[in-house]
Structure 1
Amino acid sequence: MFSGLSAFPLTPMNESRVDETTFAGLMERLVSAGVDSIGSLGSTGNYAYLTRSERARIAELSVQLAGGIPVMVGIGALRTRDVLFLAEDAQKAGASGVLLPPMSYQKLSDEEVFRLYETVSGNLSVPLCLYDNPATTHFAFSEALHVRIAQLPKVASIKIPPVPEDPETARQRIEQLRRVIPADVSLGISGDAVAATGLNAGCEAWYSVIGGLFPEAALAITRAAQAGQTAEATRLSAQLEPIWKLYKRHGSLRVMATAAELRGRVAHPCLPEPLLSLQGADREELSACLDELELF
């Protein structure tokens, strides 16, 4: 399940409840499009803002609605104890794998992060994807730490941060990681704007934000890269540059949440306070981009 397009849907909500009906609609789109896997309760799924019971319910719904597509469930939390509870819930729901970021309030050391993964991986019956996302966790993995964790039981994939935009530099980066990471641990790119570059450079998976709302656009890029059509994958990604520019200004979550509102896929508001979707001129700019790019 750690190859191809892994689509990460929003978890629509307001301050009263999680909107299970619209979440089901988002899941139906992913199933209909035929994504390779679904990443539920990642950063796009607002995992950090939900209670344990809410997360357990979304994990359960995700598996029920996935139509047999593998579901990876995010289990990040501040305390290792709580991560283990969430892992138990995800496995009980029938998740095919779990996604673990080193979430923290106090800055973590390498040894603390290693012990987190060591403890969790030793208590799993499903594969684990290491989530390396310094933009949100504020923890940067060293190559040496990647190597240590990749050798733990159940570790099956590493969700790496964006690669350099230069294709040759990106290829060298992936080749270097591949030399030191076990062959049975896949490398997956995050950072939608450079996903085509990462896939062309040798990443096996794309852990995708835009794929959670517009799976057809993300699948076209993924399938081109998988077929060795590097120029086509790059061209298709370049067409989405107006979206990537908005990502840089506002963050991918806010942009995709706003896009979901604009396209009537979710009700407004759909983010947990104090987060806000785009307003005013920014919202109008995104709406125009969606129309121009024919993203529906």
Structure 2
Amino acid sequence: MVKAGVDSIGVLGSTGNYAHLSRGERLRVLELAVSSAEGIPVMTSIRAIRTSEVLRLAEDVQQAGASAVLLAPISYQALTDEEVFFLYEHVTSSLSIPLCVYDNPVTSHFHFSDELHSKIARLPNVCSIKIPVIPSESDKAKLRVEKLRAVIPLHVTFGISGNPSAYLGLSAGCDLWYSVLGGLFPRLCLDITRMTQSGHLEEAQHLSKLLEPIWKLFNSYGSLRVISAAAEIIGLIKSPSLPLPLQPLNKSVRNHLNIILKELKFTV
């Protein structure tokens, strides 16, 4: 990612496995990322089930040199809007670095209303919202982004989360792409981003369509299982790499992924 010249690096997101790591493990991963980033800003997750633990993680990452934090409302008990607002209010009051709100209903099982986003976006240090998948039709996607933009302060950026929606989200008005695939193959993802931002939409759409076989695997098996298998295939990590009880892709799907990576000529 450093060699590719990305704008920022996100570690320990939901695909980054943070929920399966201890506090010490998470700190170690962040320290390695910051020391390797060569000055590129590093954002990391501070989510935990209890607010007190979130605050301890926030203190850890600020001391370790994180440039921003990512926070999703994860809970064993279903959370109310009031409880989620209180979480962000409590955490932002003690932060000295920017916070990105992680709106990820698939993982968190919490659905943000635009009204709640608007309230949270006005808290101190809230600087970005990582939004989930948007409508697949271009006009509807633009309307969705415009509707949310209308109630959010101008200084708060929007980042598209769902990788298959990246081109669509960027062309609909999102400011950036919080990418899963960009962690392994940043050059291609950066090309899609830069082309879309500069108005070269046909070229960006073409590159995005080349990745449809990857997007289909993401949708079927989850980005974490697919991206960890890809990292194993290209030799970055050893197998098995997922923490139990998570299981890797089965042999046939892994072989299919291997073929896709070869066809796309994906290398580190």
Q: TM-score normalised by the shorter chain: which range applies? A: over 0.9
Q: Deviations over 1:250-286 (max 9, x none)?
A: 0111111001111111111111111122121111111
User: Aligned pair 1:51/2:22, yes or no?
Assistant: yes
Q: Give secondary structure in 2 for the equivalent of 1:116.
A: helix
Q: Residue 207 of structure 2 aligns to which amino acid in structure 1?
A: L
User: Aligned pair 1:204/2:169, yes or no?
Assistant: no
Larger mean CA deviation between 31-40 and 271-280 belongs to 271-280
Distance 1:231 1:151 in 2: 36
Q: 1:125 aligns with which of 88, 93, 96?
A: 96
Q: 2:109 aligns with which of 108, 127, 138?
A: 138
User: Aligned pair 1:282/2:235, yes or no?
Assistant: no
Distance 1:213 1:107 in 2: 33
Distance 2:135 2:206 in 1: 17
**Structure 1 residue 41, shift from structure 2 partner:** 0.9
User: Aligned pair 1:101/2:44, yes or no?
Assistant: no
**Structure 1 residue 187, shift from structure 2 partner:** 0.5
Aligned to 2:2: 31
User: Aligned pair 1:115/2:83, yes or no?
Assistant: no
Q: 1:153 aligns with which of 120, 124, 148?
A: 124
Distance 2:219 2:56 in 1: 34
User: Aligned pair 1:254/2:225, yes or no?
Assistant: yes
Larger mean CA deviation between 224-233 and 149-158 belongs to 224-233
Q: Supply the RMSD in Å over aligned alpha carbons.
A: 0.7
- The 5-angstrom pairing of residues 57-96 of structure 1 reads 57-96=28-67
Distance 2:179 2:80 in 1: 28
Q: Residue 184 of structure 2 aligns to which amino acid in structure 1?
A: L
Distance 1:43 1:65 in 2: 21
Q: Give secondary structure in 2 for the equivalent of 1:159.
A: strand
Larger mean CA deviation between 273-282 and 80-89 belongs to 273-282
Q: 2:234 aligns with which of 247, 259, 263?
A: 263
**Structure 1 residue 178, shift from structure 2 partner:** 1.0
Identity %: 58
Q: Deviations over 1:55-98 (max 9, x none)?
A: 11111111111110000010010000000000000100011100
Structure 2 residue runs of 5 or longer lacking an equivalent are none
Higher relative contact order (CA 8 A, sep 6+): 1
Q: Give secondary structure in 1 for the equivalent of 2:3.
A: helix
Distance 2:111 2:105 in 1: 5
Distance 1:167 1:128 in 2: 29
Q: Residue 204 of structure 1 aligns to which amino acid in structure 2?
A: D
Q: Give secondary structure in 2 for the equivalent of 1:112.
A: helix
Structure 1 residue runs of 5 or longer lacking an equivalent are 1-29
Distance 1:121 1:261 in 2: 37
Q: Residue 259 of structure 1 aligns to which amino acid in structure 2?
A: A
User: Aligned pair 1:241/2:246, yes or no?
Assistant: no
Aligned to 1:10: none
Q: Which runs of 4+ in 1 moved over 2 A?
A: none
Distance 2:205 2:115 in 1: 31
Q: Give secondary structure in 1 for the equivalent of 2:43.
A: strand
Paired residues, what number?
267
**Structure 1 residue 288, shift from structure 2 partner:** 0.7
Q: Give secondary structure in 2 for the equivalent of 1:180.
A: coil
Larger mean CA deviation between 143-152 and 275-284 belongs to 275-284
**Structure 1 residue 228, shift from structure 2 partner:** 1.2
